[in-house]
Structure formats: structure tokens, C-alpha cells
Chains A and B, each alone.
Chain A
């Protein structure tokens, strides 16, 4: 592999160093974000949350963060192991753009906006425009992800993931569901069941029309499974060494049904 002379961005290194150790990446210059404290934090202003690209998974588990972004905290809790959560960052997860990146379904469901910076200035990109394929983004080589903006939670949120065991697993399928009670909106997105994260717009619209928004209640219990089936239909999984497409699609059905049940309890 030819050496790339441009400085490469290093955040936590949990994706970067695996590539270096296995000789898939041979850096000749590195820009480490370790000491860039401005990228580390998060802050709330009004009904938006600005999450620094350098925020680590372990930081997302703090209760204050969890209150504002419950699904992101749930996703962070499922990542890797303590060692990985102590190191890996949300910005690295976005830049890696794996269809199995656990924060990504949540960011898609929340219509996250990513602020990207270079010497040419800043740009704000919707997450679904930044990520264009498996491990492919529209980031230019000199561009840095600075922060990610999401709405503060205004209703129930869920992140559910299937893998072969509880710790240290790459998702076989995952579902993020976020409810915005103020705007009577549901966001739902799927991980690991397509080349990129998949948004379930039809299932969202169907459920939005069925919910009694004044009471935050779902009168017709058949809607849970219809929702699950519509999300499964929206997925486009493949067979690979981790799972079959059939199992993945079934997994989406089960997870999406369960997520809606948790958000709008049956019989409530």
C-alpha cells in the first residue's frame, strides 16, 4: 500500500489502530485530537444538544447526558468493552461510517446535523448526506468533524441491538426509535441491515397517524407488529459471516415491534 503523505486524523484510535496494526493503513503523518479539549465536551442550548466529535462513549453514559439523549446513551452502553468505551469517540464512529456503527441509527433517527471544518471554512451537513456508502463519506481529506447537533429528547427513545453475545459485538441488526411529542413525530432507523443506515419513513408515517398524541398512547395494539413488519420490509440485509439476511430481517421485525411497545406501552 502506498504511503499517504497527508496528516491523518486520530481520535480514540479504536478503528484507526486496528488498520495500522494489520497494515491496512500506513500513516506518515498524524494529527492527534487527544489534547483538543474543545472537541471533547457537549452542551445544551435551548432544545438542541451540541455533541463534540471527541466525546467518548464513557462520557455518554453520564446521567446528565443520558437525560438529554437517552438513545445515544443506550447505544454507547452497547459498544465494545470498557476499554473501547474509554477510548472510542462519536466523531470516529461517524467518520468510519460503518453500517454497523452503533451511534449512527440514533443520529439518523434524530436527523442529526454534522459540523465539518477545514481551512476553507465550516459546513453543516445532515448525517444522511455525509455518509454515502459503507465506510464512505463526503468528508474531504482535510476536513475535520467538529461537532454533531441533535434535538434534546422530547419523548421516549430506544436503541436495541442484536449480536451474538452481550459484550463486544458488532450489531447483526439494530433499531433506533425516537419520539418527539411536541412535534408529533417519530424517527426510526436501522443499522447493519443495508449498505448505510436505513430510515423507515413509511413505518414512521403509519405510526404517527395511529398515535393518540394528546395522551401519548397507541389505541390499536395491532400497530406494533405492523410497524415491525414495515421496518423489516424497509431493510435490505445481506448474508455474511455474521448472519443471514433472513435472520437480520426477522431481527428488525422483532426489535422495531419491541421498540414501539416500549415507547407506547400496550394498554396504557
Chain B
């Protein structure tokens, strides 16, 4: 890989061409600025806030720390891919219902992280939830409402 590069990315099941991009561009930058997928948010660009969280090959990562060109050949899921038909996912609905969305900037990152948590662990303990969400910062809610939303999804999925 050198200088300006052209490559393809698999995002939310669709194939996207990225042309003449600068080699150092992060996946977050490419998602937002080149592909118009602006759900993933940019706050710190240093892995601290989690607002850019996506899944790469099924793993929760910060898209600001992924070199986009090196993500060719992986399966990328962004927050847009979690509710493809434009409706809210159960996690999004629960966040709204519990007051877990205030300014909303952190919300897409939390949505991806909570989906990832509950896909791997259908009923996490409060401590497991805190640990799983430790890489996502929220300056508004104080986290209690986000944790309540996780509980709500657990209950609803249990049926």
C-alpha cells in the first residue's frame, strides 16, 4: 500500500469503492466524509470516547483507529447496518424509552456497543454491562439511564 489508494470496503453487506483516498485516512473519516455514512460520530480521534464504534469482522472497535485501506476484505457493520429498514432497533427504542438519549452524540456508539454486548451475553450482570461499555463516554446521562436501557432490552428479549 502506498500514497493515494483505491480499495473496496464491505459495509453493512454492501460493496463500496473508495477511490484515490490518502493512505492515512481512518475508517471513520472514510465512512463519514467519503461514503456519507455519518451515523458514526467523531469526537476524539484517539480511541477514548467510543462515539465512532463499529464492528469489524464481528469485533467492536473504534473506527477512528482503523486504517481504512487495511480494512479491505473485512465485514464492517456500522450503526446504520443495525436497523437497515430505517426503523429503530430494540436497543435504540430502549435508549429512547429510558431517557438514555440526551444530546445524542454518544448514542450511535452506545447502540453498537450494546448490540455487541447483548449478542455475546444475553443477560449481563450490572458489572459486566459497565465493563462492556467502559470504552464509550457520555457527558449527559450519567450512564444510569443507559444501563437501564440495557436492562430493558434484556427483559424484552427474554419475552
Chain A residues in contact with chain B, CB under 8 A? 7, 10, 12-14, 16-18, 20-22, 25-32, 34-35, 58, 80-84, 86-87, 166-168
Contacts and interface: CB of A to CB of B under 8 A. Distances in A.
B61 interface: yes
Interface of B: 1-3, 23-24, 26, 45-48, 50, 53, 59-62, 64-67, 69-70, 73-74, 113, 131-132, 134-136
B67 A82 contact: no
A17 B64 contact: yes
Contact of A168 (B3, B45, B48, B69): B48
A248 B45 CA distance: 29
9 contacts: A82-B113, A82-B132, A83-B50, A83-B62, A83-B65, A84-B47, A84-B135, A86-B59, A87-B59
Nearest to B112: A83
Contacts of A29: 1-3, 23
* Max chain B Cβ within 10 angstroms of own Cβ: one of A17, A20, A27: A17
Contact of A10 (B59, B61, B67): B67
Contact of B61 (A22, A30, A83): A83
A20 B2 CA distance: 15
Contacts of B67: 10, 13, 16-17, 20, 30, 32
A141 B60 CA distance: 31
B59 to A, nearest CB: 4
A165 to B, nearest CB: 9
A56 to B, nearest CB: 9
Contacts of A82: 60, 113, 131-132, 134-135
Contacts of B64: 17, 21
B45 A86 contact: no
Given A22-B46, A81-B50, A17 B135 contact: no
A15 to B, nearest CB: 9
- Of the candidates A7, A31, A80, the one having the most CB atoms from chain B within 10 angstroms of its own CB is A80
B1 A87 contact: no
Nearest to B135: A81
Nearest to B42: A21
Contacts of A21: 26, 45-46, 64
Contacts of B46: 18, 21-22
Nearest to B66: A13
Contact of B73 (A18, A20, A25, A35): A35
Contacts of B45: 18, 21-22
Contacts of A27: 23-24
B61 A87 contact: yes
A28 B53 contact: no
B3 to A, nearest CB: 6
Contact of B60 (A13, A26, A86): A86
Given A30-B67, A35-B73, A168-B48, A83 B135 contact: yes
Nearest to B113: A82
Contacts of B59: 58, 86-87
A71 to B, nearest CB: 20
A247 to B, nearest CB: 23
